[in-house]
Amino acid sequence: MHVLQKNIDAFVKLGAFLEQFCDTTPVRKEGIANNDMFYDGFLHQLKLAEEHNGWFIRENLSFAMKQWSLALTREHLLEWLSGYDTRHITPNRVAVIMAGNIPLVGFHDFLAVLLLGHSVVVKQSSNDRHLLPYLSKYLEYAEPTLKGRISFTEDKLENFDAVIATGSDNTARYFEYYFGKKPNIIRRNRNSVAVLTGKETPEELKALGEDIFRYFGLGCRNVSKIFVPEQYNFDQFFKAIYAYRDIIEIPKYANNYDYNKAVYLMSLFEMLENGFLMLKEDEGYASPIATLFYETYENGQELKKKLEVDSEKIQCVVSNGFITGETGFGNTQKPALSDYADGVDTIEFLLRI
């Protein structure tokens, strides 16, 4: 059997395995490959992840498992790879440096490297170190040819042919210094925005709440800023997102809300707030936790030009019929396999090294 097909088979089995953990109360299913060996162990890893990182609440862990279980089907994997010539791949050793802001945030890079027959050496964030090593053991058991092709390190990266590194603007400079001579993808800070026209339905605005609050806004695909027409009435927005009010019951979120509110009040910044989210007028894109920046616009065409100029700071633009390549309300944290971070085609990169 072709190597690619074997690798696809292994990840399809993993997708079926993860489907059991899509709800906050996992449901063990019959007929799942290697379940007797791995089910209870993964329950324990989820518990460890939740205990280790206060942002990784069970609801968000379950959401992440669900998105990957939906993505890892034979149909989706074959459709994703169908546009590439994968017949002549030279196996290489690819280093992947992962962020730890949301659960399994580096899994897409991990998946792409292994599907194409390369070996991966993973340097994880300490914030998200429990899940992927365990899932790697599952993959090695599902497809023995993957053994020896997956490794993890906490030490200095050595003996690799290419690197995919995700971090901040500051770490990107470090990455460029150390890895600039190797084929690389280096990702920096990005945030996502939404463009409102004032004609949105209550359902669309409620869905926007998902884009804002999922993972507490910690992902680069989370909406951290909205653009609204001048004289926009925020009452409809606040009414629609009221469904997410229970987020303030999460201690780490509440602490950030209280701290940032105190800073704004002491600095005499004007803001709007509803008890669990603050709206602050600001030209920046990276808003603090529990804060959503907003900026008004007068002319839609001028706003499109601004978004184009700032495109390297933006991951997603959420809107309805405003701009080419937009993301629909409520869908930022449900990317397709072909929705590449920073718009850089990882598969194309891995085929060229």
- pLDDT at residue 353 is higher than 80: yes
Residue-wise pLDDT tens digits, 279-296: 999 999 999 999 999 999
DSSP 327: B
**Average pLDDT of 21-42?**
97
Say if residues 333 and 214 touch (Cβ distance below 8 Å). yes
Query: Which residue(s) pair with 160 in the sheet?
Result: none
> Domain limits of the chain?
3-188, 191-318
Residue-wise pLDDT tens digits, 213-257: 999 999 999 999 999 999 999 999 999 999 999 999 999 999 999
For 305, other C-beta atoms within 10 Å of its C-beta total 11
- pLDDT at residue 1 is higher than 70: no
Query: Which residue(s) pair with 317 in the sheet?
Result: 193
Cα–Cα dist 49/325, whole Å:
34
Instruction: Fold for 3-188, please state it.
Output: Aldehyde Dehydrogenase; Chain A, domain 1 (3.40.605)
**Radius of gyration of the chain from its Cα atoms, rounded to whole angstroms:** 21
pLDDT at 273: 96
pLDDT at 292: 98
Cα–Cα dist 89/315, whole Å:
30
What's the N-to-C CA distance of the chain in angstroms? 24
CA dihedral over 83, 86, 87, 88, signed as positive or negative: positive
Of 209, 208, 195, 225, which is closest to residue 288 (Cα–Cα)?
225
For domain 191-318, which CATH number applies: 3.40.309.10, 2.60.40.1190, 3.90.550.10, 3.30.420.40?
A: 3.40.309.10
Kindly report the average pLDDT of the chain as a whole number: 96
Of 123, 71, 72, which is closest to residue 100 (Cα–Cα)?
123
Q: Residue 2 — very low, low, confident or very high, per pLDDT cuts 50/70/90? A: confident
Q: Where are the beta strands (DSSP E) in 201-325?
A: 223-229, 272-273, 278-281, 291-297, 314-318
Q: Where are the beta strands (DSSP E) in the chain?
A: 93-97, 119-123, 150-152, 162-166, 184-187, 191-195, 223-229, 272-273, 278-281, 291-297, 314-318
Of 155, 207, 237, which is closest to residue 318 (Cα–Cα)?
207
Q: Residue 3 — very low, low, confident or very high, per pLDDT cuts 50/70/90? A: confident
Say if residues 122 and 132 touch (Cβ distance below 8 Å). yes
Cα–Cα dist 280/272, whole Å:
7
- pLDDT at residue 160 is higher than 80: yes
Say if residues 123 and 158 touch (Cβ distance below 8 Å). no
- pLDDT at residue 91 is higher than 90: yes
